[in-house]
Structure 1
């Protein structure tokens, strides 16, 4: 993240704020707004919606919202960096997905609440099987356990900084418990993904990950599928080697879109699962819809 380092040096008005607010202890909470509400900055709308559900009185802002930008390649502006510097609490997914936010911060910055380890953006060793015990897919917000853990950790951090604050982590954890039960009840039908957006859902279910191995490995590493990998995917669609196709409309390549269209031509149900909430939709509703649509598609097989 050489870009991030250079960017920080271009902010002549912020050096004192960066020194004071990047402290790794609770004293960094001095940037709370005049009304006493904590300032919370999140990488995406996903975590902003979780934070707002847990702490309705906090001032919460997502740097990426509405599905307008690709979080994989997002580069924060100077204004974004100022917001990060002034935040009381920062929420990220981790795992390299939103490393553009935390790479410029100290590794032990106590303001950060995260779902996965704060790694660099590296896809060289992703799990080949969505059912492996430790799924390391960075789309961790589709893990009910991870979302519940972030909600609980965030609530604890809010109370640490403001003992009088009202926190309701159960607004999130209860919903995750409900979704976990629904996911566990999904039947053992064969699923393929144009992008591995739903690995965590699959890992909590009986769904059978059936994406051709070569295509899956390429998309996990964010590479471009070879002609033979695409042909293998087309073949399992034409021969009904899968029951349901999962498609991410927000980061769809021409190849992914063509596979979606081929599935529709062959009467294979297509379930759209978005990277981040669309428009003004709340993430908890986005997650619920993904599970509901998967259940409907699987039961119709």
Structure 2
């Protein structure tokens, strides 16, 4: 099993030492061999035949069998691999809690037969690398960026992780199918063009919203919010409880509610796959206080065909949701920020009607 990890020095691969021993030349034997070769050559010439050459090793043919633990990275593998890969994503439903997911026997069988396994790592999908084939290559997002178990595992929302994984997948596919290396590199360049457009939008948002803050019911979008320049003002006690999967202490919940009621944050980010009485209470408080609520799921909703489409839409919707509230907050006319914030929320919600089940947009 090979684990692909990008380091400062590049990709390290195992090799084998080759021992070369000198041959002794024995004059008598050499003469006999030479005579035999001449006789064989003469016989071949007389018969009019020709010696058959030893068949060369076959070049690998596609498509490459790829199994991804989650559809976010499976989508990226499809973008880079195109028709030269056959990608299966084990987990793709927004109704399944990835943290508690247990693979079926059929899922394990797929992983064992895969040429390349694409995993998230950082403790998010440990099951994906427990039973793999001996010759399988693992491409791990966590290994790519140096994330460890205990770190925020929602790496697909990180621009650094996406860029790193795109490059790693290109290298893995090129090694598995050398004849298609140029095709993989061409698709990588096309993907990078789309990713740069997303990063440009995020940079523009950050430049225009230097004081943007947010609170989160769970840290699902931490990397996305950071890349867009948001400051995380989630109360520490509540954040620790959410990270451990426990219920928040009453004092921590009250602190969060007070923060929302005073409009101390620009937006409340809500993980739709981690619903509880506490999260319902917070989203309800935000609705009454006029603080926009931005819903986001962990798994990529099926309404999107690519990871870049999903991330681009999240960035656009978040911009539309937050921008009016921040602009009005700095308005010297004295208009009500709560009212305008609610309007921003409704506008973003209306724009998401055709993708109401996508896990991205504003919540009432």
Question: Cα deviations across residues 70-127 of structure 1 (Å, max 9, x unaligned)?
Answer: 1111111111111001001111111111112113459x9761111113999953xxxx
Out of 275, 278, 290, which is 2:298 matched to? 275
Q: Helix, strand or coil: the match of 1:42?
A: strand
Question: Where does structure 1 lack aligned partners over 5 or more consecutive residues?
Answer: 1-21, 27-33, 124-135
Contact 2:156 2:162 in 1 (8 A): yes
Q: After the TM superposition, which residues 254-265 of structure 1 pair with which residues of structure 2 at under 5 Å, given as runs?
A: 254-265=277-288
Post-superposition offset of 1:160: 0.4
The 1:101–1:231 alpha-carbon spacing in structure 2 relative to 1, beyond 3 Å, is: same
| 8 Å contact from structure 1 (residues 183, 204) kept in 2 | yes
1:90 to 83, 92, 117: 117
Alignment pair present for 1:161 and 2:161: no
1:96–1:122 contact (8 Å) kept in structure 2? yes
Deviations 1:58-77 (A, max 9, x none): 11000011323211111111
Confirm or deny: 8 A CA contact 1:243 1:268 kept in the other structure: yes
Output the CA distance in 1 between the equivalents of 2:203 and 2:153.
21
Matches of 1:112 and 1:209 in 2, distance apart?
33
Q: 1:87 to 1:61 in 2, by over 3 A?
A: same
Per the alignment, residue 69 of structure 2 pairs with 43
> Alpha-carbon deviation of 1:221?
2.4
Is the contact between residue 48 and residue 60 of structure 1 (CA under 8 Å) also seen in structure 2?
Answer: yes
Structure with greater contact order relative to length (CA < 8 Å, sep ≥ 6):
1
Counterparts of 1:122 and 1:153, CA distance in 2: 20
Q: Secondary structure at the match of 1:185?
A: helix
Does the CA contact (< 8 Å) of 2:93 and 2:299 recur in 1?
yes
- Corresponding residue number in structure 1 for 2:227: 204
- Cα RMSD of the aligned pairs, angstroms, is 2.5
In structure 2, the partner of 1:77 is: 104
Q: Hey, what does 1:221 align to over in structure 2?
A: 244
Would you say the 8 A contact 1:67–1:277 is kept in 2? yes
Mapping for residues 103-142 of structure 1, pairs under 5 Å: 103-105=130-132, 111-117=137-143, 122-123=149-150, 136-142=151-157
| Partner of residue 86 from structure 2, selected from 56, 59, 78 | 59
- 1:23 Cα deviation after fit: 6.9
Report how many aligned residue pairs link the two structures. Answer: 260
Partners of 1:143 and 1:113 in 2: CA distance: 16
Q: Is 1:253 the counterpart of 2:276 in the alignment? A: yes
Q: Are 1:295 and 2:319 an aligned pair?
A: yes
Change (3 A) 1:65 1:217: same
In structure 2, list runs of 5 or more residues that go unmatched: 4-12, 15-59, 326-364
Verify the 8 A CA contact 1:271 1:290 in the aligned structure 2. no
Larger radius of gyration, structure 1 or 2? 2
Residue of structure 2 in register with 1:31 after alignment: none
Q: Is the 8 A contact 2:115 2:136 kept in 1?
A: no
- 4+ residue runs of structure 1 moved beyond 3 angstroms? 22-26, 103-106, 117-123
Quick one: structure 1 residues 121 and 223, their matched pair in 2 at CA, closer, same or farther if it must change by over 3 Å? farther
